Amino acid sequence: MSLAETPHLAACPGCVAGPLPAAAQSDAAGDIFHLSLPSIHCAACISTVERGLLGRADVHSARVNLNRKQVTITAAHGTMPEDLIDQLTDLGIEARILDLDALGQDGDREGRALLIRIAIAGFAMMNVMLMSVAVWSGATDATRTLFHWLSAAISLPALGYAAQPFFRHAWTALRVGRLNMDVPISLALILTAAMSLYETAAGGHTAYFDATLSLTCFLLIGRYLDHRCRATARSAAKELAALEVPRILRKTAEGRETINLSQAQVGDPIIVLPGARVPVDGEVIDGVSNIDRALLTGESLPVAANAGVQVSAGEVNLSGPLTIRATAVGEDTSLRRMVTMIDAAESARNRYTALADRAAAIYAPAVHLLALVTFAGWITYTGDFRHSLNIAVAVLIITCPCALGLAVPAVSTAAASRLFRSGLLVKNGTAMERIAETDVVVFDKTGTLTEGQLEVGAIETMPSNTRAIALGLAQSSTHPISRALALGFESLGTKAAILTDVAEHPGKGVSARINGQAVKLGADHFVGAQPEGGHGAWLQIGDDAPVFLPLQATLRKGAEDMVAELRKSGTEMHLISGDTAAATQAVAKALGINHVHAGQSPADKIAYLNRLAESGSKVLMVGDGLNDTGALAAAYASVAPAAAADAARAASDVVMLGDTLAALPELITTSRSAKRRILENFGIAAAYNALVIPFAMAGFVTPLLAAIAMSSSSIVVLLNAMRLQRRRKA
């Protein structure tokens, strides 16, 4: 198949490139299930879900995305989703089958529900406090008891409704024999309410209904702020999912009909009106318009669309009506595949996540043990049951591991979202962690740092059949020089010859046969020619003398600024190419790169990276050609441009969606910033516990202050993560 005949999905070249993450494959890998987990909210929940599912023999993989409250499961063929839901229910986790066609349509039900509960708790708290003022002002005996009973009548129903999120999550955990962070919170609320009710029934002087409602209100405010921070730093995957069009126009023999997106099939003629989003991947079969791809690829200028042009789901039709023939729908669209890969990157399990999970697993039982020890110590020392219980309740609340559970996922989500908005698709979940540690960037030259344009004047006199053969060979190769040659010949109106036995040889060129005669296009050594000083490729037809096809080498857009930014950050840069020494040195000199190696074969590139690794360097490889695939896979981390060969994009960790290199420094700085934020969050969580736990055990912290402190620590961690979303000033 020629290059012109090869489908090209414009929205997500990285997605089309090759293997999706394990959770996005089907066929041999098994069946894929997406379940909604509305009740999860901490690292302990993630651990419970993943370990519980992976304990089943029929589950191959399970990956939780805390920010989206979903789990993606790869299971053996024949596994029923109901069985997986039952498994999670037995673990105390609410689960539902997720309809991916409804992505982005769920609104903010959780936020609205929390606001209603906050309002009820706050209203009840203010009324109870008014009656508490009367008690504090000197009300005695029957009057005091009456105010206590009135407070109970207001507090208990309000508490039963407002604190439901804590009670429900705690109960689902306890009934299957596990602990989560809502267990100590619920225990604290129940104990303070029960203690207050006992004092009221006994005619005691003190009740804590006002404190119980205040505690509930502040805990709910903390949870709502946590929810809002997550919404502000929401995943790029969710934003992309919102680009899907729920209902579309399908052309019929009678005219057109409106159908649901899930009803669309490959081959359907779909009508896209001006201003509408393209709902599926497809090929334009009728109409002329312009397509806006800015949200998907970062391309600032619209792209012309007419018959034969490939379009992708999520792109915007700007000017005229188009009819497209669907080539991919549903799960197979490049938009949905992009969503899956970003989702995988955000929820990946790096070493920091594993550390947080282990800490949270130890922390939950330690909280209850600490509260019990505190209660035993104080009751032994003072003999005052109420005072000892009050201090134990404060310890239960203040030691909840909320901040620890948020330390990693909040940063991962914010960083992946920022990078996507900068035109960088992170395909591998541990990529940012590895990129943060790199200290050397190795560039390929042709197609990565440079672009090629054919010197048309040099081949205008070439016989038409020769140009046709050259175009056919060029269209059959993914190398940047071949693409440049193809564009140049096409600009002259050349029609490609029909070739057979086409084969691409990495680092050399492409060969084929026409009418039984061998033809080649590629490097000088591939066709047996003497090296030429210029930039270009050699064409050989049969036994004829090779013909040189010259190119003008131009730097890729943003290359100079990118190199300047990396130099400012102290990053060491190398240029490695299969091109001639003269051409490679010219590019290196123009960009100011000192470490230069020319005439390198694919094996030479891998050996060079291995030598750098042996010397202690951690290499970020940036390449685009088929001959760079081995080097991209061998590097510590790797990046490929959107226009790279499919194999190169598949082997890379990150794909640059735009047509400029300017985003590369952003990738490195954001990855390093993300690593710093994670370590800072661990430090915040550790410092918080080291500071407040001794005060709480010593009796200097009330349950209300404990609730404020616990919520504040979580918000500080989230706000620290959200600093990643602030772009650097140009």
582 and 451 in contact (C-beta within 8 Å)? no
Q: Torsion angle of alpha carbons 105, 111, 117, 118, nearest 10°?
A: -160
Return the number of other C-beta atoms located less than 10 Å from residue 292's C-beta: 17
- For residues 635 and 612, give the distance between their C-alpha atoms in angstroms, rounded to a whole number: 10
Q: What is the DSSP string of 601-655?
A: -HHHHHHHHHHHHHTT--EEEE--SGGGHHHHHHSSEEEEETTS-HHHHHH-SEE
Provide the 3-class DSSP secondary structure of residue 217.
helix
3-state secondary structure 118-171: HHHHHHHHHHHHHHHHHHHCCCCHHHHHHHHHHHHHHHHHHHHHHCHHHHHHHH
Burial (CB count within 10 angstroms: exposed 0-12, middle 13-18, buried 19+), residue 30: buried
The two counts, helices (H) then strands (E), for the chain are 26, 26
Q: What is the DSSP string of 383-402?
A: --HHHHHHHHHHHHHHT--H
Return the number of other C-beta atoms located less than 10 Å from residue 8's C-beta: 13
Q: What is the DSSP letter of 379?
A: H
- For residues 592 and 449, give the distance between their C-alpha atoms in angstroms, rounded to a whole number: 12
- For residues 186 and 168, give the distance between their C-alpha atoms in angstroms, rounded to a whole number: 9
pLDDT at residue 414, rounded to an integer: 78
Structure tokens at 327: 């080539």
Residue with tokens 């602030």: 726
252 and 267 in contact (C-beta within 8 Å)? no
Strand partners, 641: 656
Q: What is the DSSP letter of 18?
A: S
Q: Which amino acid, residue 266?
A: V
Cα angle 456, 461, 462; round to 5:
90
30 and 60 in contact (C-beta within 8 Å)? yes
SS3 content of the chain, % helix, strand, coil (to 5): 50, 15, 30
3-state secondary structure 235-267: CHHHHHHCCCCCEEEEECCCCEEEEEHHHCCCC
For CA atoms 632, 635, 636, 640, the dihedral sign is negative
Backbone dihedral angles phi then psi of residue 624, each to the nearest 5 degrees: -135, -20
3-state secondary structure 279-323: CCEEEEEECCEEEECHHHHCCCCCEEECCCCEECCCCEECCCCEE
Q: How many CA atoms lie within 13 A of 105 on its CB side?
A: 10
444 flagged as catalytic: yes
In sequence order, the 6+-apart residues with CB closer than 8 A to the CB of 687 are none
- Give average pLDDT by consecutive 10-residue segment, the chain, 730 residues: 38 46 46 80 76 88 77 85 83 72 53 88 86 71 83 90 87 76 77 81 75 78 67 53 71 84 87 82 88 61 79 81 88 73 54 57 72 89 83 78 66 78 76 87 84 58 84 82 80 86 83 91 84 74 86 78 88 85 83 87 84 91 78 86 72 79 88 87 82 87 73 77 62
pLDDT at residue 343, rounded to an integer: 60
Q: Given 210, 226, 343, 444, which residue is catalytic?
A: 444
Residue with tokens 């689960």: 95
